[in-house]
Structure 1
Amino acid sequence: MVESNPQDPVTPATKCPPKSRRRWMFRLAAVLLALSFFPVTEVVLRALNVGRNVNLVIPIEDNLLATTGDFTHQINGMADLAFYGTTDLSGPETRPFTLPRPDNTFRIVVVGGSTVIGFPYAPEFAFPRQLEMQLELQNPGLDVEVLNAGITAMNSFAVNELVAQCFDAKPDLVVIHTGHNEFYGPGGPASTAFQLSPELIRQTYHFRRWRSVQIVAALSPPPDNAGEDLLNVLPRQLSIPLNGPVYLQARTNYESNLRRMIKACRKSDTPVLLTTVACNLKDQSPLLAEWRNESIDGKVEWDSLLADAALLIQQRDYHAALNALERASDLESEHAMLSYRRGQCYDGLGDVQQAWAAFSEARDLDACRFRIPSEFHEIARRVADEHPHCHFLDLTAAMVADGYSDPPGYNLFLEHVHYNFEGHHLVGRLFAKFIQENIRSGRWNSDRVASSNEMQKSLGFLPEDDLAATSFAIEVLQTGPFAQTADRQSHIEFLTQRAGRLFELVPSDRRDVFAELSLNQMSGALPQHLLAEFEERGNKQAVELMRKCWKLRKPWLRNVP
C-alpha cells in the first residue's frame, strides 16, 4: 500500500478524477442545452413567422398596412397583446411613419391608458391627434407626427415597457400621461392580473413578446371570465382605504415606474414631458363611500342627515344642506359622500376654492380607486423636479390658468376619467402650448389655434361619433361599481338626455341606420359600418360623406372604403 505524501503537488487529475469530470461536463452540457431551447425555438418560430410580432414598433411589411407615401414602420396595433393575454384591448393606434426620421419632422410619442387612446371615442379624435394638428398650425411648414401609444386599462408597469420600446420610433419627445389604472390595471396591487412582485411583472411583460410564450398561452384554456367587461374582471379588491397597505404599494409602484421611465429617456437622450392626469370631480359621485368609524353608533342618524342634505341640495338650499352635513360630521367626519355633498354645496354657493377642496377630498376618500388620488400628482411633480432633463405639466393647474376655474365635471368629461370632445380639445391645446413654449422654445400664436368646431371639421367628426361615445359612457355607468354609486341615476339621466340631443343632430336619413348598430360596430370603425349600411340602402350622399370623413381621419391610408 502506497501512502500519499502530503508534500506531493495536487494536480487537476488528483482533484477531479476523469469519470467525475466527464459527469460534470455532461451535466453542464445538459443545462446549456435546456437553457438554449427557448432562444433557439424563438429564432425558428420567428423565421417561420409563427406567432405575432407584438413589439410596439414594427416594419410596415409585418402588417401589410396599405399606406400613402414612403412609410417604413408603424405603431403596432397588436402591441396590447403583450400586456393582457389574448384580450384585444383598445390601443395603441396603428400609425405609419418613416425611419430614419425625416429632417423636417417633429415626432412625439404619447404613452398612457384609455384617456390617451381616446376612449370612448376613436383614437383619431383623442388629444394626441389634436396636439399634432395644433402644433402644425403653430409651425407652418413643419411636419408634426404624434404617435398614440395609449392602451386601455394599462398602468405604469405597462407604460414603462411602452416607453422602453418607443425609442425605436426615434421620437423627438416622449409624453407620459398615466395614473388612473395604478390599482386595478394588470400588475396593480388590487388587480386580478399578474399578482406578482414588481420585478417579475416587468419580466413577464418582456417574455410575453416571445413567440414560444404566445404558443404556450394559446394552448392554455381561456379564463372563466373571458369576454366580460374589464371593469368587472380586473378589480380583485375594490375597497382600498386611503394609506392602507394596498394604497401604499400602488404609490410605491407608481413612483418607481416613473423614475424608470425618466431614466430611460435620459439614457436614450430623448426629451420627456411628464404630466398629471385630470378627472371628473364635480359630476362623479364616489363609487365606494365607506363608513370609516370603528363604531356604527349613530350611522342611522348619519344616513338620515346625508339624505336630508341631498334633498336640500336639489332644492338649492345650500346653507341648510351644509348645516345638516356639519351635524353629520360630528358622527363621521372622514366619509367620501360627506365631502362630495359639501362640494356640491360650495359649488352651488359659488365658493370655488372650497368646492375644489371638498370634491378633491371626496375623490381621495373614495375607496374604489378608478381615479388617481391627488397625492400621486405630487409624486409626479417630485420625480420630474429631480431630473433636470424632464419637463413637467400640471394639467389641472393648466386648465385653471386657461379659464376653467371650476372643478371639472360634465363640461370636460363623460364619466369618471374619460374626456368628451371638448375635454380632448382642451388637453390637446394645452399640451401643444406647453410644448411650443417650453420644449420647442417658440412663440404661441393665439391666432393660429383651431377651435373645437374647426377641429371637428378637420377630423371628419360626425354627430354619430359623439352619440356613440355617449352610448359607451352610459354602458360604463351600468357596469361594476359604477352601478352602485349613490348618484348613478342622475348621472345616467344626464347622459341619456345628452344622447337624445345628439340624436336630433343626426340627419333624419341617417338616424335609423345608426340606431340599428351594435356597440361593437360603433367601436373604432364607425364610418365603415355606416358606409356599408348606406351603400346597401342606396344613400349615395351619405356614402360620399363617410368616405370623406374616413380620409380626413386617416389620411395616411391609401385605400378608403
Structure 2
Amino acid sequence: MPTPPESSDAPSEVALSPGRRRAFTAVLVLLPVLFFVLLEAGLRLGGYGEDYPLFVPVDGADSLLVPNREVAKRYFATSATVPTPNPDIFRSEKAEGTFRILAQGGSSAAGYPFYRGASFPQVLATRLRLAYPGREIEVVNTAMAAVNSYTLLDLADEVIAQDPDVVVIYAGHNEFYGVLGAASTESLGRWPALVRTYLRLRRFRTVQLVRGVVGSLAALGSERTPVGRPPSNTLMARMIGEQNVPFGGEIYEAGRRQFEENLDLLLARYAEAGVPVYISTLASNEHDQRPFISALGEGTDSTAFVAAAQAGIDAYEGGRPADALPLLEQATTLDTLAADPHYVLGFVYETLDRPDEARAAFQRARDLDALRFRAPEAFSDFIRAAAARHGAHLVDGEAAFRAASPGGIVGRRLMLEHLHPNLTGYSVLADAFFDAFVADGLLGGTPEPTPPGRLVRLVTPMDSLAGRIRVAQLTAGWPFRPEEAQPVRLDTSRTPRYVAELAQAVIAGSSWLPAADSLAGLYERDGRVRDALVTRRAILQGYPFLPGSWSRLASLELTRAQQSGQSDRLPYVAGLFQEALARDPDHVPALAVLGAMALQAGDRAAAMRFLERAHAVAPDTPQVLYNLSGAYLQEGRRGEAAALAERLVQMQPDNPQYRALLGGTGATR
C-alpha cells in the first residue's frame, strides 16, 4: 500500500547555517556569563561586599598608611569579630635612607598578649636604631592571631608593593586551626589549590555573596558547642573544628601539605620580587605544657597500654624514676601515638640526668599532641629546606630558645603558656633576627654596640599588665586544665590602680595612644620618672611622626636632667625638641622650650628666633610671652618687653612674677 504524502501543515526541519549555529551557541554560552556579570555589577552598585586592603590611609593624614583593622574579614566568614594587626603607622612614600621592615606571621609574630613594643619586630627595630643611629628604621607588622600560610601568601603582593627592605616571618603554629586551616571551623576544605583559587577570586562580590551564605549556614549549624568541648569565649577555642588530629593521619598530612605548598609559593614570590626574607624556625613550650590530647592509635591494646602507662606515672610521682622508666618505655611501644607517656618520660630522663633523651621525649610529646596548636618539628625542618631552596635567610629561632633554656628544653622561662613567648622570649627571638641582620651586613656599615633586647624593649606597665590579663582569660577555659590557669594577682603597692584601669580599658577596645599618654602623665604626677620615661619612649616608638611624641619625651628628659644636675644631657634634650620641629616647624612646645634653653645659655639671638616663631603661632602662650619679654629686656628693647609683660598682667593680674617683670621693663600700670 502506498505511503500517503505528508501533510503540508506538518512542521519542516529548518537547517541552520553554520554562522547562525555559531551565533546560537555563543548566546547559550554567554547567557550565564552575562547573568553573573549583571549580578556582580548589581552587587557592586548596591554596595555589597568589601575589598579589605591590607593598608589604608590614616584618618586625616593621607601621606601615612596603617594596616587595616578589618583586613582579616577577607578570610573569616562565620566569626562576628576578627583579629587585628598592630597599628604600625608608616609613610606611604618611603623616605630616602629609610630601612623598612615588614613582618608576617600569627599571634606570636604580632606579640600576643602584649603587642606593640613587645613584638619581636619592634624589639628588633629598637636594637637596630641603637646599632645604626644614622638610619631611620620603620617597622610595619602585619601579623595577626589565628592566621596561617594562606593569609601570608594572599597578602604578599601588597607587602611587596610597600617596598620593604626586608620581610621577617615567624609562622607555622596555625596551619591546623588558623583561618582556612586543615582542622579549623573556618575551613574551605583540605585542598590547598582550591583554597588559593578561592582567595584569588574573593575580590568578586558574587564570590563574597556565596561565601557569606555558606558561612551563615555553617554558623547556624555550629551554634552548639561540639561534644566533649566545654564552652569558651576565646578565639583560640572557637577556631577548633577537629579536636583529634593524630600524628601522620589524614588531617595532619593535609595541614603539613598546605604549609609546605604555601610557604614554597610565598618564598618564591619574594625571591622573584627581589625582596630579602628572614624566616625563623619555630619554638613552643615543651617542658611545662602537658599535651592537650593524648590519643591512642587504632588497634592499640588499651588495657595493656593503660596498665603500663599508669604504673609508670605512679612510679615517677612516687619518687621512683628508675622503676618508672621501663614501664613508660613499654607504654610508648604498645602505642606509638599517645603523647602522655613521652611527656612523663621527659621528666624521668631529666631526673636521671639524661638531658638528650629528656629533650627528645618532650619534643616527641609535643609532636604527638593531637590538639594541634603547637607546630611539630617537621615544620621547622621544612622551613630550613624551603629557605635554602629559595634563597631566604634562615634565622634559627628554635635554637636560640633552646640555648636560653635549661637543658635545651623550652619551658616557662621563655613561654607564657603553650606557645606564646613571654617578654624575655620575645627578646630572645628579636636578638636572633638582629644577629642574623648584622652577620649578613644587611644595613651596611659597622653597628654600634647595643644591649640585648630584654634591656631595650619598650613595653609600658599598662601593656605588660594587659598581657597578663589576656593570658589569664585564655588559660581560664578549655583546652587548659584548672591547674594550668594563670590568674592575675595585682600588687597595688608596686602597680598603681590606674595602671590596671587603663589596661582593662585597652583590652576593652579603648585607643592605645590616649591611654598611654594618660599613663605617662599620671606617672609624672606621682614622680615615677622611670615608668614615665618607658611609657613616653613607647609612645615615640609607635608614633614618631607626631611632634608631641618627641616634645613630651624631651620635656620629661629635661626635668630629669635639671633635677639631677646633669647639664651634659641638655644637648640630647635639645635634639629631641629639634626632632619635634622637624615634624612640625610651628610646634609651640618645642619652640618655647628651645627658646628658654637658649636664653638660659646666653644665646639671646637664638632664643628670640625660637620665641618669636612661637609667639607668631600662639600669641597668648604665657611662658612664651614671659621668656620673650625677658629676652627683649636683655636686648634693651624695653618697649616690646613692656608690651608683652602688660599682656601677661592682663591675662593674670594677680601673678606676682608677671607684675615684677612689668615693673622691670620700667612701665607703669
Question: 1:39 Cα deviation (Å)?
Answer: 5.7
**Secondary structure of the equivalent of 1:95?**
coil
1:353 to 347, 356, 361: 356
Counterparts of 1:480 and 1:53, CA distance in 2:
35
Counterparts of 2:321 and 2:80, CA distance in 1:
47
TM-score normalised to the size of structure 2?
Answer: 0.68
The residue that corresponds to 1:427 in the other structure is 429
Structure 2 vs 1, CA of residues 156 and 505 (structure 1 numbering), >3 Å: closer, same or farther? Answer: farther
Counterparts of 2:493 and 2:286, CA distance in 1:
29
Task: List alignment gaps of at least 5 residues for structure 1.
Answer: 1-13
**Secondary structure of the equivalent of 2:466?**
helix
Structure 2 vs 1, CA of residues 430 and 41 (structure 1 numbering), >3 Å: closer, same or farther? Answer: farther
The question of whether the paired residues in 2 share the 8 Å contact of 1:308 and 1:324 is answered with no
Counterparts of 2:271 and 2:510, CA distance in 1:
35
The residue that corresponds to 2:272 in the other structure is 267
Question: 1:359 Cα deviation (Å)?
Answer: 0.7
Question: 1:134 Cα deviation (Å)?
Answer: 1.3
Structure 2 vs 1, CA of residues 519 and 449 (structure 1 numbering), >3 Å: closer, same or farther? Answer: closer
Q: May I ask how many residue pairs the two structures share in their alignment? A: 519
The question of whether the paired residues in 1 share the 8 Å contact of 2:346 and 2:357 is answered with yes
Deviation per residue, 1:189-208 (Å, 9 max, x gap): 21221333322312333344
**Secondary structure of the equivalent of 2:161?**
helix
**Secondary structure of the equivalent of 2:479?**
helix
Q: Percent identity?
A: 25
**Secondary structure of the equivalent of 1:109?**
strand
1:449 to 448, 451, 455: 451
Structure 2 vs 1, CA of residues 29 and 272 (structure 1 numbering), >3 Å: closer, same or farther? Answer: same
The question of whether the paired residues in 2 share the 8 Å contact of 1:339 and 1:361 is answered with yes
The residue that corresponds to 1:510 in the other structure is 498
Counterparts of 2:124 and 2:106, CA distance in 1:
17
Task: Give the letter aligned to residue 379 of structure 2.
Answer: F
Counterparts of 2:416 and 2:286, CA distance in 1:
12
Structure 2 vs 1, CA of residues 244 and 428 (structure 1 numbering), >3 Å: closer, same or farther? Answer: same
1:295 to 298, 301, 325: 301
Q: Which has the higher mean CA deviation after the structures are superposed, 168-177 or 541-550?
A: 541-550
Counterparts of 1:449 and 1:147, CA distance in 2:
23
The question of whether the paired residues in 1 share the 8 Å contact of 2:312 and 2:325 is answered with no
The question of whether the paired residues in 2 share the 8 Å contact of 1:309 and 1:325 is answered with no
Task: List alignment gaps of at least 5 residues for structure 2.
Answer: 1-14, 224-231, 553-669
The question of whether the paired residues in 2 share the 8 Å contact of 1:503 and 1:511 is answered with no
Deviation per residue, 1:502-560 (Å, 9 max, x gap): 63564344377469x47942x6856756877999x999659995984762352246488
Say yes or no: does 1:552 pair with 2:540.
yes
**Secondary structure of the equivalent of 2:449?**
helix
Q: 5 Å matches for 1:161-180?
A: 161-180=154-173
Q: Which has the higher mean CA deviation after the structures are superposed, 465-474 or 537-546?
A: 537-546
The residue that corresponds to 1:159 in the other structure is 152
Task: Give the letter aligned to residue 296 of structure 1.
Answer: S
The residue that corresponds to 1:7 in the other structure is none
The question of whether the paired residues in 2 share the 8 Å contact of 1:130 and 1:428 is answered with yes
The question of whether the paired residues in 2 share the 8 Å contact of 1:128 and 1:148 is answered with yes
Deviation per residue, 1:338-386 (Å, 9 max, x gap): 1111212333444332221111011111111110011111111112222
Say yes or no: does 1:469 pair with 2:467.
yes
1:78 to 50, 70, 84: 70
Counterparts of 2:258 and 2:545, CA distance in 1:
39
Q: Which has the larger radius of gyration?
A: 2
1:91 to 62, 84, 87: 84
Higher relative contact order structure (alpha carbons within 8 Å, sequence separation ≥ 6): 1
The question of whether the paired residues in 1 share the 8 Å contact of 2:123 and 2:430 is answered with yes
Counterparts of 1:540 and 1:215, CA distance in 2:
54
The residue that corresponds to 1:240 in the other structure is 245
Structure 2 vs 1, CA of residues 512 and 275 (structure 1 numbering), >3 Å: closer, same or farther? Answer: closer
The question of whether the paired residues in 2 share the 8 Å contact of 1:54 and 1:209 is answered with no
Question: 1:211 Cα deviation (Å)?
Answer: 5.6
Q: Which has the higher mean CA deviation after the structures are superposed, 253-262 or 191-200?
A: 191-200
Question: 1:159 Cα deviation (Å)?
Answer: 1.5
Structure 2 vs 1, CA of residues 308 and 252 (structure 1 numbering), >3 Å: closer, same or farther? Answer: same
Question: 1:167 Cα deviation (Å)?
Answer: 0.8
**Secondary structure of the equivalent of 1:503?**
coil
Structure 2 vs 1, CA of residues 208 and 352 (structure 1 numbering), >3 Å: closer, same or farther? Answer: same
Task: Give the letter aligned to residue 201 of structure 1.
Answer: V
Q: Which has the higher mean CA deviation after the structures are superposed, 288-297 or 210-219?
A: 210-219
**Pairwise CA RMSD:** 3.8
Structure 2 vs 1, CA of residues 524 and 53 (structure 1 numbering), >3 Å: closer, same or farther? Answer: farther
Question: 1:249 Cα deviation (Å)?
Answer: 1.4
Say yes or no: does 1:376 pair with 2:379.
yes
Counterparts of 2:442 and 2:193, CA distance in 1:
36
Question: 1:161 Cα deviation (Å)?
Answer: 0.9
Q: Which has the higher mean CA deviation after the structures are superposed, 217-226 or 318-327?
A: 217-226
The question of whether the paired residues in 1 share the 8 Å contact of 2:130 and 2:448 is answered with no
The question of whether the paired residues in 2 share the 8 Å contact of 1:309 and 1:341 is answered with no
Counterparts of 2:270 and 2:105, CA distance in 1:
15
Question: 1:156 Cα deviation (Å)?
Answer: 1.1
Counterparts of 1:343 and 1:212, CA distance in 2:
53
Task: Give the letter aligned to residue 80 of structure 1.
Answer: A
Question: 1:148 Cα deviation (Å)?
Answer: 0.6
**Secondary structure of the equivalent of 2:156?**
helix
Deviation per residue, 1:240-268 (Å, 9 max, x gap): 11111111111111111111001111221
The residue that corresponds to 1:438 in the other structure is 440
Counterparts of 1:156 and 1:356, CA distance in 2:
28
Question: 1:215 Cα deviation (Å)?
Answer: 6.7
Task: Give the letter aligned to residue 31 of structure 2.
Answer: A
Structure 2 vs 1, CA of residues 541 and 80 (structure 1 numbering), >3 Å: closer, same or farther? Answer: farther
Counterparts of 1:538 and 1:143, CA distance in 2:
29
The question of whether the paired residues in 1 share the 8 Å contact of 2:396 and 2:432 is answered with no
Structure 2 vs 1, CA of residues 395 and 165 (structure 1 numbering), >3 Å: closer, same or farther? Answer: same
Question: 1:295 Cα deviation (Å)?
Answer: 1.6
The residue that corresponds to 1:198 in the other structure is 192
Q: Which has the higher mean CA deviation after the structures are superposed, 82-91 or 398-407?
A: 398-407
Task: Give the letter aligned to residue 52 of structure 2.
Answer: V
